[in-house]
Amino acid sequence: MTTTKDTYIVQEGAVLDRREFFTKLGLGSLGVAAVGTLAFYYQYLSPNVLFEPSPIVNAGAIDRYPLGSVTLDVNSAIYLVHIARGYFSLSAICTHLGCMTAWKPELNMIACPCHGSRFNREGQKLAGPAPKPLPWLKTWLSDDGELMVDRSITIPQFQFLRV
Amino acid sequence: MPGTIETYFDKLERTRVWRSIFRSGKGTSTLHNALAIQQNVFLHLFPTKVRKRMLGLGATWYLGTLTLGTFIVLVVTGILLMLYYHPSVPRAYSDVKDLQFVVSSGLFLRNLHRWSAHAMVFLAFAHMFRVFYRGAYRTPREFNWVIGVVLLLVTLLLSYTGYLLPWDQLAFWAITVGTNISSAVPLIGDKIRFMLLGGHLVNANALLRFYVLHCVILPLTAVLFLAVHFWRIRKDGGLYVRETEPGVANSDQDLSNQEQESR
């Protein structure tokens, strides 16, 4: 009759001895607990509900934007532009580091006060450190004839809203 | 009557209460002096013995000590400012304005906090230049240099997180730009920014998070690393003296030469 204990001794080197087994079990459990703790913190620190303004903006009646105008809405940080080819809206957030740009009518361009990026009225970069053009935002006309903009959806450039 | 005060202190130092607190006992021997440092919880991190010339102003310029000094001023003034400041969007800006114009000595405390913060960043850099050009970062002190770099980063983060708290235009755009820089990290950048701000915008959550970082997490981190920093100085043989510590040995031969020189 051989007991379990004897088996371990016989198979020396081939399998874990008891001490090694429990050390590995202990370290493994600590590892699992550490990963769990990280996941816990990650989830806790990411808020599930945000009290932020809606991405959808009602920009008002379309006749507020005459032909050739570039209008900055400071509160929602978007430009509403009306040129001969149609209406469109641009994000006013500089693609460099997130400052709010401004329309400079005397220069006929959009300029960022932080690091000097410049864009034309279609949002294309003319100068400065900005890596990308100003994004075009999804724009449509509501049933009441008001311009609506969804700031969370970017569309390809030069997709005009024609009325 | 001359000597009265000394007699009084002499009596005080022999009382049982005094002896129970300061256990090193009375005396001016080397042992007593060493014990006075070793047996004090605040001083035991420091070397028990310091070379006399290291205490001259010319030798160290006290830049590290001054950096600690500004940190202590910042902790004290910061705690006092916390008593009038609410880290909430409707209150933050007006609370800072009240500190400037309404609270007694509020202007003084806020300015002291602000100027000490600037001084601490400057002194930390100056201290590091001093250590670098003197070669005091070399073996066996290289780990303490790394701790110092961590402390510099914590200092800069404290400076940065404090910037948002007045909740004015400067603060808002500085944090907008700064957190956008953090989103340049590959793959996880946007997530870092989201976690830092507690949202997509510099908003109420961001103000509260920066407040907690500024007032709790970063100061505690700084204290922890400061303790290690000072303790390492003791373990590495006190403040750096070039004449007795020739730096990195390139070979065993160098090492034995250096040992002989230092004797």
pLDDT of residue B41: 87
B180:A114 CB<8 A: no
Q: Which stretches does DSSP call E strand in chain B?
A: none
Is residue B120 within 8 Å of B154, Cβ to Cβ? no
Measured over the CA atoms of residue B246, residue B249, residue B250 and residue B251, the dihedral's sign is positive
Chain B residues 243-262 with a CB less than 8 Å from chain A: none
DSSP secondary structure letter of residue A100: B
- The top-level CATH class assigned to B60-248 is mainly alpha
**Residue type for B34, please?**
A
Chain A residues 99-118 with a CB less than 8 Å from chain B: 99, 114
CA end-to-end span of chain B, whole Å?
50
Cβ–Cβ contact A93 with B under 8 A: no
pLDDT of residue A1: 47
DSSP secondary structure letter of residue A161: B
Kind plus residue range of the DSSP H or E element containing B32 = helix B30-38
The residues near B212 (Cβ < 8 Å, ≥ 6 apart) are none
pLDDT digits (tens, 9 = 90+) for A4-42: 555 555 455 567 789 999 999 999 999 999 999 999 999
pLDDT of residue A9: 53
Structure tokens at B65: 């000590």
pLDDT digits (tens, 9 = 90+) for A110-156: 999 999 999 999 999 999 999 999 999 999 999 998 999 999 999 99
Measured over the CA atoms of residue B251, residue B256, residue B257 and residue B258, the dihedral's sign is positive
Cβ–Cβ contact A50 with B under 8 A: yes
Distance from CA of A29 to the nearest CA of B (A): 27
Tell me the CA distances in angstroms from A47 to A152, B194, B197, one per residue in order: 19, 9, 10
Instruction: Tell me how far apart the alpha carbons of residues B67 and B73 are, in angstroms, rounded to a whole number.
Output: 10
pLDDT digits (tens, 9 = 90+) for B160-175: 999 999 999 999 999 9
Cβ–Cβ contact B182 with A under 8 A: no
pLDDT of residue B250: 47
pLDDT of residue B136: 86
Confirm whether the ipTM is greater than 0.90.
Answer: no
DSSP assignment string, B80-148? HHHTT---SHHHHHHHHHHHHHTSTTHHHHHHHHHHHHHHHHHHHHHHHHHHHHHTTTSTTSHHHHHHH
CA end-to-end span of chain A, whole Å?
95
Instruction: Tell me how far apart the alpha carbons of residues B96 and B210 are, in angstroms, rounded to a whole number.
Output: 16
Distance of CA B199 to the CA centre of its chain: 31
Is residue B99 within 8 Å of B110, Cβ to Cβ? yes
Q: Which of A56, A72, A60 is nearest to A151 (CA)?
A: A56
**Fold classification of A56-155 (topology level):** Rieske Iron-sulfur Protein (2.102.10)
Measured over the CA atoms of residue B229, residue B235, residue B239 and residue B242, the dihedral's sign is negative
pLDDT of residue B249: 46
Structure tokens at B91: 């209150």
Q: Which of A129, A108, A105 is nearest to A117 (CA)?
A: A129
pLDDT of residue B51: 74
Task: Give the count of beta carbons closer than 10 Å to the beta carbon of residue A106.
Answer: 5
Instruction: Tell me how far apart the alpha carbons of residues B177 and B30 are, in angstroms, rounded to a whole number.
Output: 57
A98:B201 CB<8 A: no
pLDDT of residue B135: 85
Sheet holding A136-141, edge to edge: A56-61, A146-155, A136-141, A86-91, A78-83, A70-73
B205:A47 CB<8 A: yes
DSSP SS3 for A27: helix
Q: Where are the domains of chain B?
A: 60-248
Q: What is the mean pLDDT of each run of 10 residues along chain B (263 residues)?
A: 79 88 82 86 83 73 91 97 96 96 96 97 95 86 94 97 95 94 93 94 94 97 96 82 52 51 46
pLDDT of residue B248: 45
Calculate helix-pair angle for B204-212, B169-182, nearest 10 degrees. 80
Rg (C-alpha) for chain A, rounded Å, is: 30
Cβ–Cβ contact B181 with A under 8 A: yes
Interface test with A, best of B89, B170, B172, B173 (most A CBs within 10 A): B173
B180:A97 CB<8 A: yes
Q: Which of B64, B83, B198 is nearest to B144 (CA)?
A: B64
